[in-house]
Amino acid sequence: MNKNIEELRKKINDIDTELIKLLAERRKVSKEVVIAKKESGKPIRDQQREMELLNKIISIGKEYNLDSHFLTKIFYEIIDDSVRLQQKYLQNYKPENDAGILRIAIQGIEGSYSYLASTQFFAHNEEELIFLYKDTFDEVVEAVEKGEADFAVLPIENTTSGGINEVYDLLLHTTLSIVGEEKFQVKHCLIGTQDATISKLTKIFTHYQGASQCSKFLASLPNCEISFYSDTAMSAKKIVEENNPQYGAIASEEAANLFNVKILKRNIANQSENFTRFLVCARKPKEVDLRIPAKTSLVMATSHTPGSLAKAISVFHKYNVNMTKLESRPILGNPWEEMFYLDFEGNTADPEIRQLLDELGKYTRFLKILGTYPSKDIVKTKIDSFADASREPEIEKEEKPVEKELPKKQKVKKSYKLASRDYKPEDTIIKIGDIEIGGDNFIVIAGPCSVESHDQIFACANEAKEHGAHILRGGCFKPRTSPYSFQGLGFEGLNELEAAGKTFGLPVITEVLSPDQVEAVARQADILQIGARNMQNFSLLKAVGRCHRPVMLKRGMMSSLDELLNAAEYILSQGNRQVILCERGIRTFETATRNTLDLSAIPILKELTHLPIIVDPSHAIGQRDKVVPLAKAAKVVGAHGIMVEFHPEPEKALSDPDQALRFDQFEEMMRDLRKL
């Protein structure tokens, strides 16, 4: 009898070995198929064929008395594996270096969920995986930005506890692109030392996410103190280090095995189907083969106009594109404003999707594409349980084509797009509090050339407010021709400018000189100014393009309007759609004035671009008693506003003393402008 069982077992083992061999053989053929498909340009999946295959399998199964549920379950897995394998062939993740290693930065340690998700994601890679374990998500992103690691793997959302806000906020600012996603089933366990039992526990170490996903179970242990830890594997490690039977932790089964601790209870999460979605980020975006089902993630802020979010979202409907996620987050530093994070099924390499994004851009004041990546949701082919395997499968009904907005014909091909009227026919209106810049509005920006002291900037703010100016200016970082001239008060000056603006209810504008200043200045100023000398400082333009404050871009003193609009394009193409142009005079052969104010630029720019245009007569003419007529001319010629310099004691001004208006001149100018 025993011998018989042994024989039978051997037989089963032989069959299993045979099954494994056949599965391996099937994989090999599947790989040959993808190579053939690559040559023919055919899509990876042929769901019609998959459906026929499944129906056939079910009908063969019936002949052998195998039930269809059992067979479909197995073959879904086989097809899934085959699709993943074929996708991997078209979309591999090679590091930039050729050292045969992949450096992956994660928050946490070996055995953490980020670690487990990474090993799952890179499972088909031949390279050796080297992990860089970091304490915070910030450090993970920084490691890749600096080139210490090739990929950052970051958790973004959990099906029970929701989005991970810190990671969303990081995505907004990072220069990294999303190149992949992974979905990992989280199976939380309660673990302890070898002598521990649930009733003995007095303290449980856990990551806050773990605690929130297992809140119901934890509530059933009212006598246990919860001690928060930076990740789940770390909690497991703590158990080993403390070796106290009264201590428990929430961690994965894998972490429990890795640290050789006892599992006291499995599946303690509120929801048994508990998944975490991870994003894989790299320094450069990765193009996804059009034959692979792809997803794209973006972050946007919609314009301050009624219905703009609805209009933005309707673009997806118009193009028949499926949105898979919409999440909103407050914009740090801009109370009551929201950024929308959106995922949709589509590939930025697809011209239709590019057209969709162009159209979407018209309803946004910030739009950043975070990346296109292969979708982890492998759609299961539906099978019709009543289908007759011999019947020809039905051809899917053709979708009615949706009407698409065709790009308008351009007379001359321009090197800029987002800045042009062809792209966006209606005026861009930039809102800062109650103030609107652009459209039919005319605004006045006034203030000193430089912030010099508390008293000086407060006197200026008072004067500006009293006489109806809308925005307070003041240079804190000054681009001076001579290195020996006053360079500005820096952040000390910015504190005063911000305080003066707040006291008098005026938004403030100040110049930024370098990319590494942008983030800090954007925290305190309402508008960032790019000075004439920096109009083609491309790294600075890109940096302000990534922030969400409006930017006023001054025309370079030797720049054509085409160059000005291309400089604006640098900012717009980084995501920031709130750009104001400023004509401040250009250098000509004329030496009687500081510069030559090019007023003809205004009607030309208004034709070429939808962006608001401000005139700065102060830097143009350079003489205080001739500023006012130019300011009036600017209004007449159609500018959306002016920027002027004034000073309580112009003769004593530390920069540009000759052009600063006296307060009485400013008051007269405001009176005159109102009459026009």
Active site residues: 276, 278
Site string for ligand PEP, 442-461 (x = CB under 6 A): -------x------------
* Residue 651 CB coordination number (10 Å): 9
Element (H, E) at 561: helix 561-573
The residue nearest Mn ion at its CB is: 449
Nearer to ligand PEP, 418 or 476 (CB): 476
Contacted entry of ligand PEP, Mn ion, none for residue 584, CB cut-off 5 to 8 Å set by kind: ligand PEP
Residues recorded for the chain = 676
| 150 is a site residue for ligand PEP (CB under 6 A) | no
* Strands across the sheet containing 188-192: 225-228, 203-206, 247-252, 188-192, 262-265
Counting Cα atoms < 13 Å in the Cβ hemisphere of 566 gives 12
How far apart are CB 489 and Mn ion at their closest, in Å? 15
* Coil, helix or strand at residue 174: coil
Nearer to Mn ion, 315 or 532 (CB): 532
How far apart are CB 509 and ligand PEP at their closest, in Å? 9
Site string for ligand PEP, 211-250 (x = CB under 6 A): ----------------------------------------
**How many helices and strands (H and E) does the chain possess?**
21, 25
| 584 is a site residue for ligand PEP (CB under 6 A) | yes
* Residue 671 CB coordination number (10 Å): 11
| Interacting span for ligand PEP (CB under 6 A) from 385-393, 463-471, 488-496, 530-538 | 530-538
| 531 is a site residue for ligand PEP (CB under 6 A) | yes
Residue 117: closest CA among 249, 275, 236, 286:
275
Contacted entry of Mn ion, ligand PEP, none for residue 531, CB cut-off 5 to 8 Å set by kind: ligand PEP
Residue 201: closest CA among 145, 154, 268, 149:
268
Residue type, 465: K
| 656 is a site residue for Mn ion (CB under 5 A) | yes
Which structure tokens are listed for 436? 């609107």
How far apart are CB 570 and ligand PEP at their closest, in Å? 17
Cα separation, 192 vs 199, whole angstroms: 11
Cα separation, 69 vs 634, whole angstroms: 77
| Interacting span for Mn ion (CB under 5 A) from 62-70, 213-221, 648-656, 662-670 | 648-656
Cα separation, 309 vs 51, whole angstroms: 39
| Interacting span for ligand PEP (CB under 6 A) from 261-269, 273-281, 526-534, 660-668 | 526-534
Contacted entry of ligand PEP, Mn ion, none for residue 532, CB cut-off 5 to 8 Å set by kind: ligand PEP
| Interacting span for ligand PEP (CB under 6 A) from 230-238, 354-362, 527-535, 622-630 | 527-535
How far apart are CB 535 and ligand PEP at their closest, in Å? 8
Cα separation, 204 vs 242, whole angstroms: 12
| 554 is a site residue for ligand PEP (CB under 6 A) | yes
Nearer to ligand PEP, 426 or 492 (CB): 492
Cα separation, 526 vs 547, whole angstroms: 12
**DSSP symbol at 220:** T
Contacted entry of Mn ion, ligand PEP, none for residue 479, CB cut-off 5 to 8 Å set by kind: ligand PEP
How far apart are CB 469 and Mn ion at their closest, in Å? 16
Cα separation, 5 vs 594, whole angstroms: 102
Residue type, 632: K
How far apart are CB 663 and ligand PEP at their closest, in Å? 19
- Of 218, 258, 532, 615, which one interacts with ligand PEP (CB under 6 A)? 532
- Of 141, 383, 449, 464, which one interacts with Mn ion (CB under 5 A)? 449
Nearer to ligand PEP, 210 or 475 (CB): 475
Contacted entry of Mn ion, ligand PEP, none for residue 511, CB cut-off 5 to 8 Å set by kind: ligand PEP
Strand residues in 500-619 grouped as ranges (E):
508-511, 527-530, 551-554, 579-583, 613-615
Nearer to ligand PEP, 275 or 538 (CB): 538
Nearer to Mn ion, 59 or 665 (CB): 665
Cα separation, 354 vs 109, whole angstroms: 39
Residue 554: closest CA among 533, 576, 577:
533
Which structure tokens are listed for 644? 């002027």
Q: Given phi > 0 = left and psi -120 to 50 = alpha, else beta, which region is 523?
A: alpha
- Of 330, 479, 505, 629, which one interacts with ligand PEP (CB under 6 A)? 479
Burial of 7 (0-12, 13-18, 19+ CB in 10 A): exposed
Residue type, 580: I
Nearer to ligand PEP, 374 or 556 (CB): 556
- Of 498, 511, 569, 583, which one interacts with ligand PEP (CB under 6 A)? 511
Cα separation, 570 vs 126, whole angstroms: 39
| Interacting span for Mn ion (CB under 5 A) from 69-77, 564-572, 652-660, 666-674 | 652-660
Q: Check the CA dihedral 535-540-546-547 and report its sign.
A: negative
- 614-643 residues in contact with ligand PEP (CB under 6 A) are 619
* Coil, helix or strand at residue 158: strand
| 511 is a site residue for Mn ion (CB under 5 A) | no
How far apart are CB 485 and ligand PEP at their closest, in Å? 12
How far apart are CB 653 and Mn ion at their closest, in Å? 9
Which residues of the chain form contacts with ligand PEP (CB under 6 A)? 449, 475, 479, 511, 531-533, 554, 584, 619
Binding site for Mn ion (CB under 5 A): 449, 656
